[in-house]
Each structure stands twice: as structure tokens, then as C-alpha cells.
A and B are shown apart, each in its own frame.
Chain A
Amino acid sequence: MAVADVSFSVPRSKIVSIIGPNGAGKSTVFDLLTRVQDADAGSIVGDAGDLLNLPAHKIVRHGIARTFQQSQLIETASVRDNVGIGRLRFRSSRMSSAIFRTPRFRREQEREDARVDDVVKQMGLDPYRDDPISTTSTLVRQMTSIAMAVASEPQLLLLDEPMGGLVESEVQELMGVLRKLNASGMTIVLIEHRMSAVMSLSDLVLVLNFGRRIAMGTPDEIRRDQSVIDAYLGTRRAS
């Protein structure tokens, strides 16, 4: 069992970080929240009720979007096309309207193209708009993953190690973007190993170890928590 006895709630418009050693079950929590993996027991309650009653493809309609630890972007598609995937939930996927290009289809197409362009600009991806993902830098890839999630207009954004592979200046840039998104009212749950970023960004920190919750509190409380220091932070990182 990757995760057991993990209970936590995420206050609206806050940033909550999940930390813990490798194999602690952090990504599994995201997989359960987005129904990518099935839960054997328990409940996940959102605004729409118990999310465990919903299939994976309906989760995004309830305002939950996520990124992945391993890039899941479509390598041959452009940055813009990847971001556009985030808008699929707003699109009519009727084949007939695609074939006959009905006026409604065309209006929707124009509206959605404009919305994707807005998100691309908002995330600072305009210079790379038409570049295939395979040719872009790690920062652009991470930003594109987040932009894809943002394009789906979530209330709750789940980010799985968005700072992985970034240098310090890029981390600062990304933190600025996350602060802006949070300021716009978006709730963010972040899995991250970079403690400086976690402690600086988060309102609350959840610590997992071996699939169990060992602590939850403000960054200061977590820094001082002896069980967290023993299991994950160590004395140097805690100070």
C-alpha cells in the first residue's frame, strides 16, 4: 500500500506543500486525487462531493488540474498546442461539427484560440509559442506543463516537482509565477524537494513518510518538528 491513513484538508486560496523522502507516497496522493489510481478505501471530498465517485476524465471539470513529475507533454507538438490540451474540457468534441465546420464550431475555435494565446502570454511562453516541446529548455517545459493546467481554469492546481531540473534563477522565476497564480485565487498543492522554495512559498506543509502523514503545519512548525527532522529534513536543512 503506497498511501495509508493520510488525511488533510486544503484551505481555499492557499499554497500547501507536500514533502517527504522518495517513496513516501507524495505522487500517489496526486494520482488518487485525480483518479489516475484507484483508492481501496477512504474518501476525497471536493466542492462536487466525493471525487472517488468520478472517473478520471471528469475530475478536471470539477476544477482540479495537475502536472506530473515525469514530463507528460507531447514532444512533437508545439508549446501552444500542448497548452491547448488544457482547454479540451471546454471544447465540443463532436465529429460532425468538426467535419462540417459549423458556425458554432468556428466561433468556439476562435474563442478558444484566443484563450490559449492569453495563457501562453500570461505564462511568459510567447517567444516559444510555436517551438516543438522537444526543442525547448527545462524551464519552458515546466512552464508549459503548468500553463496546460492553468488553461483548464482550475480552482485547485496540483504541481508535482515543478522545480525539478531548474537552476536557482529559474526557480525564482517559477516561484514568481506561482505566487501570481495564487494571488489570483488559485489554490495550489505542491510536491517539491527544494526546501528553500517550499518554506518560502507555502502556507502549510504536509509531511509524508512511508505512505503515512507524520506532520502538517506552517513552515515554521514543520522546521521545528522533531519527527520531520528525523525522517526527512535533518538538522542542517531544518536550520
Chain B
Amino acid sequence: MKARLGVALQLATAAALAVGLPALLVHGDYGRHLLILTLILGALAVSLNLVMGYAGLVSVAHGAFFGIGAYTTALMTVNGYPFIVSVIAGMLLAALTGTLLGVATLRLRGHYFAVATLAFTMVAVIILERWEEVTRGARGVANIPRPTPVSFGSVTLSFADFWPMYVLLMCVVCLFVLVVHLVVHSPFGKSLLCIQRNELLGKVYGVNVMWVKLRVLALSAAMASVSGSLYASYIAYVSPNDANFMRSFEAIMYVVVGGTGTNWGPLLGTVFVHILPELLRGFDNFRLLILGGILVAVVRFYPAGLAGGIAEIVKFATRLRRLSSRFQRTKPVTD
């Protein structure tokens, strides 16, 4: 048990370092803005990975769950509700929506499930656009305040500043990584594994497949909604475009590029996809072409994503080290 918690802490620390180091390396407002966005979308990718990577359900609904969080926070905070209350409300609403979506799509698998979730996202965008009295339609919601400042005695942390916002986001991301790790390494996680790899086996050994799917979808939707809340609060504006299927596809790209079913892969994927275009700025108009080529190459040569590729390299290096130490031990002693 201690060992497992130790691993969980190590993972959380590694995630914090992986995401935290860039803050020290990045300079300028634009770089910092990019970093904050990377963290927000990284949280979305981690939430998607829970259903896509561990339960094998390719959800295109996560853009909509993100939108639910963003709109709940936007509409509540502009009406004077505290940020944290809006986040919790968004989580509950997204979890409920996720459950309802789950009930409607219970028996679907693979592409059929993906298409059903795509349809759900399109319906969500139409509702956001047409229900003008509540959502303000295509104009969106502007002037969304940042999270309520936090006071520690005489020190007040204002989330309008970079560092408090950055630390808040990093905590959220680490918490998400930790939650996913703990869920996956539990009997519930084993049920997820059965659903992903062999539903029949799960059923025969007592896994209520439908109930497990519903719960994982609800949890993942709630997590995606938190990233939406943070996004709305940071950007200060949301529109139906923030909830559309392009958001879902972006999240899927982060997960696939980083490594589905790996704890920190989605974060790595988000960082990679966000930072790479900036590194390619020198290539001017060819930038997107090169970016596309690199992403295709990653998926083609590292089907397990960047995390899988790194794991392979580490394994190879470990094998090499073992071989070299064995070679040194067997080297004959000469005068």
C-alpha cells in the first residue's frame, strides 16, 4: 500500500516537474499565455484519457463537457456566484449529462459510440447557439471574472497574475493525474481494463459493464468540465465554438500523440502539440505542413504515443546498461 502511494506521489511529482519546468523556461506574456492554455487543455486530455485510454471508449463529447463547465462558470460568475461554486455546479451538470449520454449510448461500442458522442456534441453546440435567453447565443459570454482571490493572512493571491493561476492549474493537473492513477489501480480500474480488452470476460466475472461505463463517463465528464471552467475564467470569454467537436478532436489528438492509456502521456501530447508550432515559426508558411508531417510520423512510428516511445527508449537504455555491466564483469583480468 505504502509502495503504491509512493508510486502515486512519484507520478504526481513527475507530472508537476514535467509541466512545471517550462514555467521557468518560458518568457514573455505570449509564452506564459501558451503555457496556461497548455495546462488547461492538458487537464482536458487527462480527463479524456480516463475513458479513451483506460475504458477504450473514444469520446467526441469531451468538447461539450468542456463547454458545459465553461458556460456554467461563465454564466454563474458574471452573475456574482463564487468561482468554486460555479466549478462544482459545472462538474455536477457535466456528470449528469455524461450519465444521460451513457444511458443513451450504453450498448454502442467503437466507432458507433464515437459517432453518437459526436452527435451529442453537435446538439450541445446548437443548444448553446439557439438558447439565447440563457447562453447569449453566438455572441457568447464576455467579461468573465478570474477565480476569487485567496487570502493567507496579509498575503492575497490574485489569479489575475501569472504565478497564482499557473500554480492553481498545476495543482489541478497533478490532482487529475493522481485521481486517474488511483482509479486505474483499483478494482474499478480492473473492471475498466476488462471493458477495454475483453468485455465478455468482465461480464462473466461479475463486472456490471453498463454501470462501470456510466460511472467512468460521469467522472471523466466532471473532470473535463473543470478544465472548461478554468478556461472560461482565464480567457474571460466563451462562445459556442469553445464547446464544438474541434475541441474534442484536439483533445483526442493530445491523447493519441502522447500515448493512450498512459498516465502522463496526454500531458506530454498536449505540451508537444502546443509547443511544436512555436518551435516551427521560422518555417513560416510551411509550418503547418511540417507540423502535420511530424504528428503523422509520431502516430505512425510510435503507436503507443510519445510516452510509449520514451518507455521503449528507457527500456533499450536499461538493457544496454545491463549488457555493458555484464561485459565489464566478465572482462578477463590482465597484468
A98 and B186 contact, Cβ closer than 8 Å, known pairs A57-B207, A93-B212, A109-B1: yes
Contacts of A167 in B (CB 8 A): none
Tell me the complex Cα distance, A109–B4, Å: 12
Tell me the minimal C-beta distance from A214 to chain B in angstroms.
28
Contact A93 B191 (CB under 8 A): yes
Contact A93 B197 (CB under 8 A): no
Residue B293 at the chain A interface, CB threshold 8 Å: no
Tell me the complex Cα distance, A168–B173, Å: 56
Contact B204 A88 (CB under 8 A): no
Tell me the minimal C-beta distance from A39 to chain B in angstroms.
16
Contact with B along A43-83 (1 / 0, CB 8 A): 00000000000011111110001101000111111000100
Contact B206 A152 (CB under 8 A): yes
A66 and B204 contact, Cβ closer than 8 Å, known pairs A93-B191, A95-B215: yes
Residue B198 at the chain A interface, CB threshold 8 Å: yes
Tell me the complex Cα distance, A58–B207, Å: 8
Tell me the minimal C-beta distance from B304 to chain A in angstroms.
11
Contacts of B209 in A (CB 8 A): 57
CB-based nearest B residue for A64: B204
| Residue in A36, A55, A74, A148 whose Cβ sees the most chain B Cβ within 10 Å | A74
Contacts of A84 in B (CB 8 A): 190
Tell me the complex Cα distance, A181–B212, Å: 32
Residue A121 at the chain B interface, CB threshold 8 Å: no
Residue A99 at the chain B interface, CB threshold 8 Å: yes
Contact A57 B198 (CB under 8 A): no
A98 and B188 contact, Cβ closer than 8 Å, known pairs A72-B200, A93-B212, A109-B1: yes
Q: How large is the interface on B (under 10, 10 to 19, 20 to 34, 35 or more residues)?
A: 20 to 34
Contact with B along A91-124 (1 / 0, CB 8 A): 1111101110100011001100000000000000
Contacts of B191 in A (CB 8 A): 88, 93
Residue B325 at the chain A interface, CB threshold 8 Å: no
Tell me whether chain B's interface is mostly helix, strand or loop, or mixed.
Answer: helix
Residue A85 at the chain B interface, CB threshold 8 Å: yes
Tell me the complex Cα distance, A216–B129, Å: 69
Residue B318 at the chain A interface, CB threshold 8 Å: no
Residue B42 at the chain A interface, CB threshold 8 Å: no
Contact A36 B203 (CB under 8 A): yes
Residue A34 at the chain B interface, CB threshold 8 Å: yes
Contact A106 B1 (CB under 8 A): yes
Contact B190 A85 (CB under 8 A): yes
Contact A88 B190 (CB under 8 A): yes
Contact B203 A56 (CB under 8 A): yes
Residue B182 at the chain A interface, CB threshold 8 Å: yes
Tell me the complex Cα distance, A136–B215, Å: 34
Contact A88 B205 (CB under 8 A): yes
Contacts of A93 in B (CB 8 A): 186-188, 191, 207, 212
Contact B204 A77 (CB under 8 A): no
Contact B203 A152 (CB under 8 A): no
Chain A residues with CB under 8 Å of chain B are 34, 36, 55-61, 65-66, 68, 72-77, 81, 84-86, 88-89, 91-95, 97-99, 101, 105-106, 109-110, 148, 152
Please name 4 further chain A to chain B contacts, defined as beta carbons within 8 Å, in addition to the given A61-B206, A74-B201, sorted by A numbering: A57-B208, A72-B201, A98-B188, A99-B183
